[in-house]
Structure 1
Amino acid sequence: MTAGNHIFSGLKVLDLASYIAGPAATTILADFGADVIKVEPPGAGDVYRYFSAMPPNPTSNVNYAWQLTNRNKRSIAVDLKSADAKEVLQRLVRWADVVVVNFPPRVKAALGCTYEALAPLNDKLIYADITGYGSEGPEADTPGFDVTAYWARSGLMEVTHDAGSPPTLPIPGIGDHATATTLYAAIVTALYVRATTGKGSHVSTSLIANGIWAAAAWVEGGLNGGQFFPQHDRKSPPNALLNPYQTSDGRWILLVAAQRKDWPGFCNAIGKPELLADPRFTDDTRIANAAQLVEILDPMFASQPLAHWKQVLDAGRVIFGVVQVAKEIIDDPQLPANGIVVPLELPGGIETRTVCNPIQVFGSPKVKPTVAPQLGEHGAQILKELGFDEAAIARLNDAGAVARFTEGA
């Protein structure tokens, strides 16, 4: 539970979701002061608790994925399939301002967690729903994951590798975190509606919708009859000035000098003004002869190390990006300077860092991150807040509807 004077101090959030996208949305709310209660099944809890140990994720003694997506929350272990848990769920819903769910429609119905079942309990409730493939259509009940519904289905996985090479797995959670931010925006929109009307509402998004939104610049082109270029081939790209190049020390630079106005400055910066007079590379011919330009630029970039080209391109005000390696990402000074990574103290006084959500509201600081909860850690406390006495809590524990907390779970 968070305390203090933050944007969402006093906002009560019930997190019934699992994995990443739904819980990450409630993490953003918690970062701004909301009291988030995370409901997990007894026994194993949210399976995301074990995600950090799954290859090919980085190996660490810290359960970093769990900290990232569930910091600043309280946990109660409730068996939503148990008839004895029905009263617990109803009281939690009456307590909450916001409920977040990510079950497929048929599972929501079986657990009594649909909007139609919960909304009558609380007319100010904001019910935020996230799915893999949307709540309608033949695939509404199909489980959706980041890599399937966001990356693969949207086509993003197809266009993020070069022609002739197979698709590769992205970093897990890219689509989940983007979708979480969308769900957060939907919740905040619903809070505004409630502030003006006094009524709750039902908001929703999906992984596939966010994947299509991410790819919208090209999807929109296709919707309007656009003809797509072949899959990107670095040796023969549609535009040689929007292309990666390797330096002599094995690093990669992504050149972004694709506008017509960039060409003279680029040629002068790299010390090849003669290219400006080459008839193959005029504004009207440069695209058709992109492969020939790559044949010139490849050995040139390969002749010097990254440090040289950073100096040259910076001096010439040429837009480029360095493809950073893991160590550089972790130690990038821009991250702490802008609150993108922030300190986190783990049990035992262990100091580490966590990635903060990307939203900044100047003058309204975020909550100092606290350690993510152990499974069911706050169960007894939460039940007491909901009005259950000691005898009722014991009955719920004995029935297995709400698990007793075990240290170290």
Structure 2
Amino acid sequence: MRLDGIRVLDCSRLLPGPYATQLLADCGAEVVKVEDTDAGDYARAMEPHTADGVGAIFEMVNRGKRSVAIDLKTDGGRAAFYRLVEGADVVLEGFRPGVVDRLGIDYETLTEHNDELIYCSLTGYGQDGPWADRAGHDLNYVALAGLLDMTRESPEEKPQVPGYPIGDMAGGLFAAFAIVGAVLSRELGNAGGEYVDVAMADVVASFAQPIAYQAATGDPDEPRPGETPLTGAYPWYDCYETADGNWVTLAALEPGFWRAFCEAVDRDDLADEHGAEDPAVRAALEVELRDLFRERTRDEWEAALEGVDAAFAGVYSPAEMIEHPQFRARDLIERPNGAPPRIGFPARFGDETAETTESAELDERVPTQGEHTRRYLAEAGYSDAEIDALYDAGAVR
């Protein structure tokens, strides 16, 4: 998938929106960060920092982009933004509902300057509904969407905060998907400009498909964490501690995987217990598996089950993930010269991973705030004198 020639104005900050536009940039889109003239994207200063003093989150999701700094609260800044919109394909914003209207950069206003514009609003709860104006972060979105409730082993335990910000990342991913779909629809002649409303809580709620029918049609107290096929009800689909205090996963949902596992560990006596409905049988089997997996370390289990079709994998930390040979073989972890390792685009096209059309040197760094302001204003038709006047007035930086 190539998005060469597509220009995106990214008015978002922090993680969800920048992740969405990073995915687009990795596919060749030209992404221009539109930052304010004060602090800019807050993620620039957030801890932890890279060796260069840049916020690590900012470094990870803003590579290869450009930056213009514009004060959208000024007449001159808005006028400059409108000029940039004329040459753009996409605008993405992550403000709370109503903010873009007050700034004068809402969809209806911008279509007066570009009626072919794809405009995506990425928010926590969407543009309507009783929660639309509520402040929130990832933890709140996954809480509303039912995911947080299902992160524990039983209803009596405390919900566990997910290790990754699932709502943020899922929202960014779906925003990128929706933008690509809207651009494709426009290019195919099926539509012109289009407005896209993406709510992170909606996206996480859509992940509930495996339990949605039960939730919608069953007992109001169902489903419960630890009691569904994919949350711990089945001992053949669970996590187990190993001799060294690490953990492994067994996901032998299919009988064939379970038989292969039992044969590999010399426990053919357990083979017929797969699919048992009796809670007592399941409980006894879980004890057997707990004892079994405590006999070896995680890495010893990995070696013992190498090549066995048992749906088995060790549990790895994020640091171990970065160095794992599977991801190295996939070229997922990029190691550009002079820059920190980073997670690349998670899909391949043909025999190559997605690369932007810009030079590797540009891809290896993130833009400084307002680094490209003058360039894009000049491209939009401003004279040097007009640009200087905007700088002098504080409308741009």
- For normalisation by structure 1, the TM-score amounts to 0.86
Aligned match of 1:32 in 8, 12, 27?
27
Aligned match of 2:166 in 170, 174, 192?
174
Aligned match of 2:378 in 384, 395, 403?
384
Inter-CA distance 295–184: structure 2 relative to 1 (3 Å threshold): same
Matches within 5 A, 1:223-234: 223-225=216-218, 228-232=222-226
Percent of aligned pairs sharing the same letter: 32
**Does structure 1 residue 122 correspond to structure 2 residue 111?**
no
Does structure 1 retain, via aligned residues, the 8 Å contact 2:89–2:116?
yes
1:166-199 Cα distance to aligned partner (Å, 9 max, x none): 2333335432222222111111111121112262
**Does structure 1 residue 7 correspond to structure 2 residue 5?**
no
Q: CA deviation at 1:80?
A: 1.0
Aligned to 1:406: none
Q: CA deviation at 1:316?
A: 4.1
Q: CA deviation at 1:28?
A: 1.6
Deviates more, 1:162-171 or 1:137-146: 162-171
Segments of structure 2 that go 5 or more residues without pairing to the other structure are: none
Aligned to 1:343: 335
**Does structure 1 residue 66 correspond to structure 2 residue 62?**
no
Aligned match of 1:88 in 80, 87, 92?
80
Aligned match of 1:146 in 133, 138, 142?
138
Q: Secondary structure at the match of 1:105?
A: coil
Does structure 1 retain, via aligned residues, the 8 Å contact 2:236–2:251?
yes
Q: CA deviation at 1:202?
A: 1.3
Matches within 5 A, 1:78-227: 78-149=70-141, 151-163=142-154, 164-197=156-189, 199-225=192-218
Inter-CA distance 334–313: structure 2 relative to 1 (3 Å threshold): closer
Amino acid at match of 2:60: L
2: CA distance between counterparts of 1:356 and 1:139?
Answer: 34
Structural RMSD (CA): 2.6
Aligned match of 1:275 in 270, 274, 292?
270
Matched length: 386
Segments of structure 1 that go 5 or more residues without pairing to the other structure are: 1-5, 404-409
Amino acid at match of 2:217: N
Aligned to 1:313: 305
Inter-CA distance 394–343: structure 2 relative to 1 (3 Å threshold): same
**Does structure 1 residue 398 correspond to structure 2 residue 392?**
yes
1: CA distance between counterparts of 2:186 and 2:387?
Answer: 33
Q: Secondary structure at the match of 2:12?
A: coil
Aligned to 1:252: 247
1:275-322 Cα distance to aligned partner (Å, 9 max, x none): 357xxx374445552111122221221122223322333354211121
Q: Secondary structure at the match of 2:335?
A: strand
Inter-CA distance 23–321: structure 2 relative to 1 (3 Å threshold): same
1: CA distance between counterparts of 2:149 and 2:223?
Answer: 13
- For normalisation by structure 2, the TM-score amounts to 0.89
Q: CA deviation at 1:253?
A: 0.8
Inter-CA distance 378–324: structure 2 relative to 1 (3 Å threshold): same
1:241-296 Cα distance to aligned partner (Å, 9 max, x none): 1111111111101111133444433332222223357xxx3744455521111222
1:93-126 Cα distance to aligned partner (Å, 9 max, x none): 1111111111122111111121111112111111
Inter-CA distance 167–74: structure 2 relative to 1 (3 Å threshold): same
2: CA distance between counterparts of 1:258 and 1:121?
Answer: 55
